[in-house]
Amino acid sequence: MTRPYPAALAAWRGAAPAPAVASPLPVPALLERFHPDRQHSAMVTLAVGSSAGQPCRAELAALLQADALVEDVDIAGAPVLEADVLVIGGGGAGCVAALTAARAGARVLLATKLRLGDSNTVMAEGGIQAAIGAEDSLQRHFEDTLRAGHFVADKALVAALVSDGPAAIRWLIQEGMSFDLAPGSDRMGGQLLRRKPGGATAARLLSYRDFTGLEMMRALREATLLQPGITLLDRHPALELLTDDRGRCAGAVLHDLAQGRPVLARAGATLLATGGAGRLHAAGFPTSNHYGATADGLVLAYRAGAALRDMDSLQYHPTGIAWPPHMTGALVSEAARASGAALVNGLGARFVDELATRDVVAAAILREIAEGRGIGRDGVEGVFLDTPGLEAREPGILAQRLVTLTHLAGRAGFDAAQEPFLVRPTLHYQNGGVAIDAAGRTAVPGLLCAGEVTGGLHGRNRMMGNALLELVVFGRRGGQAAAEDARGERPRSIGLNHLAEWRRGLIAQGLPLTRRTPILFPPYGNFDATADRGRAA
């Protein structure tokens, strides 16, 4: 039976500091019984498209196997914009790709769904991995990443990620990003502070306080706004990709939210950096993701003929806020556990290695709740994250290094140095996505992808810190490749040429043509792009 909050609080105080323990359940059994991805009733088999036959979460499959929002008649007479490279997505990967392409001489259109920087990048708190320590190596980072992803990741992508890691950190510093320095260092010649992230065999996590992603996005946003050759289109989400008569991607149909009308953006190469799918709330979980994370890039790339992979794998971050209700799903950074904060159940006992991989820690928390050792408060269940114990061991750490965590506690109405957080897993990342090569190219000529929209790099579980590294490494690789591709033969006979074959596939499988995607915003946003366009007309 779940322990009431007052009793659990008394048990925590009585046992503090609780000793470390190993999970009595072997990892394979723990994941099979308690991880949400292993609940097979939540999966369906894709019936149409280039990845037909693959398992996929039902929430994603419903969007993927749907008709387009637009037809030829909808875009007749729409304004036309021309560029060498079109980048769709204004988060970290999109900014890096746009910067790289522009610096390679391309004329770039950068289209965002919301505003530049409104993305999951700003919510990445824990840090970025890179093998820069004397005791570390590229090989160790490579092996750690493969192991964390259960050895199903694309080795070529992992090799590209880790080999570019040190150069990516140097590039970020050159762009103006700040990092924490090791004690005793000074700004003129200090060593970067490194910590050991969950699942790693070496200390390679670099950070800026506990808002690393926000600091990264600050630097990237400023660089993007100052970079010649980039035209920014804020509040222009993509409705559909454009293709030519040979199946080559030729840009996209954008939706001007301010004017309520479609805009055609034609380009020699198109790069999707649209992020993930957290706002679909798979399996009913809350999410740490930003408002626009609705799988748009997956939908558009798949309809155009790109292959997908690992679409039955999502990541549930172990420490989302469970209470108070108005903050449900907000992230308590893994930086807290990397710094030594323990997870404690309703009996006052630790139950897992807090620096195990995220899928293991999340499954362990769900097990405690399912078997009655969780903590109940106002109808929600979770476990404690013992921040007071961390503060007692390292006085001042919450105020000085875990600033975001301290602010979260303030918003929740308590002092994190005196009272633990009540946490439970929150939907955090999309492990699967569009299949790419090491340059970011997809199976569709002229279409590239970077960042969370892609699949293959993380396997079935992502290591902390690899997402921020991914967006830099593959944003740079994809931006360079897009600039090169745009110099080749330009698309011709541009339109919605791929939709006829797609609709034939839907009809052949008995799937309805009445469901239309992408949805652009979560269902509770009550946004309808087609209705908006009708009002503008």
Show which residues are catalytic: 358
Coil, strand or helix: which one is 148?
helix
Report how far residue 250's alpha carbon sits from residue 260's, in angstroms, rounded to the nearest whole number.
23
Which token pair is 246? Answer: 């040979």
**Residue-wise over 480-497: b if at least 16 C-beta within 10 A, else e?**
bbbbebbeeeebeebebb
Phi/psi at 419 (nearest 5 deg)?
-135, 140
**Residue-wise over 253-276: b if at least 16 C-beta within 10 A, else e?**
bbbbbeeebbbbbbbbbbbbbbbb
Phi/psi at 251 (nearest 5 deg)?
125, -150
Phi/psi at 352 (nearest 5 deg)?
-160, 155
The two beta strands, 205-206 and 43-45, are: unpaired
Q: Is 262 left (phi over 0), alpha (psi -120 to 50) or beta?
A: beta
> Which residues have C-beta within 8 Å of that of residue 475, sequence separation ≥ 6?
92, 93, 94, 95, 96, 97, 100, 273, 450, 451
Report how far residue 111's alpha carbon sits from residue 94's, in angstroms, rounded to the nearest whole number.
9
DSSP 433-471: EEE--TTSB-SSTTEEE-GGGEESSSTTSPPTTHHHHHH
DSSP 315-362: EEEEEEE-SSGGGTT-B--HHHHHHTPEEE-TTS---S-TTS-HHHHH
The two beta strands, 261-272 and 447-449, are: parallel
